[in-house]
Amino acid sequence: MNVEEKLSDRINIGQGVLFYLFKLNSKELKEKIRDIVGIKFMPDDMLEHGTVTKTYINDEPSEIVIDYYDSIKIDWMGIQSDPENGTSAIIRQFDKFFTLDMTK
């Protein structure tokens, strides 16, 4: 598989996950992300009081940010932690090894 095919696969997987997450309301979204990343990256305060911002570019879902002092950013590549004081880190990549229960 060449680089273009690998990137195309990542985009297809990531966009599918991102489109699914965009359909969830704020409470469901925060709960789903908490299930994925755990309490370390999404403590109770962020779950209860975090603000969800969904960004569209040309009517296409682009990014989701859950913000409460620290931030969690979700785009087609995966989930990233962006702490208020510290270095950003990729928590999960949306690749062929990532699974998400989309039936709930």
The model's pLDDT over 13-52, given as tens digits with 9 standing for 90+, comes to 889 899 999 999 999 999 999 999 999 999 999 999 999 9
Domain of residue 33: give its range: 3-93
Asked if residue 50 lies in contact with residue 30, where contact means CB atoms within 8 angstroms, the answer is: yes
Q: Do the domain assignments include residue 104?
A: no
Residue 13 has what pLDDT?
87
Total number of domains in the chain: 1
How many other CB atoms sit within 10 Å of the CB of residue 19? 12
Q: Do the domain assignments include residue 34?
A: yes
Q: Do the domain assignments include residue 102?
A: no
Q: Do the domain assignments include residue 101?
A: no
Q: Do the domain assignments include residue 68?
A: yes
Q: Do the domain assignments include residue 63?
A: yes
Q: Do the domain assignments include residue 103?
A: no
Q: Do the domain assignments include residue 72?
A: yes
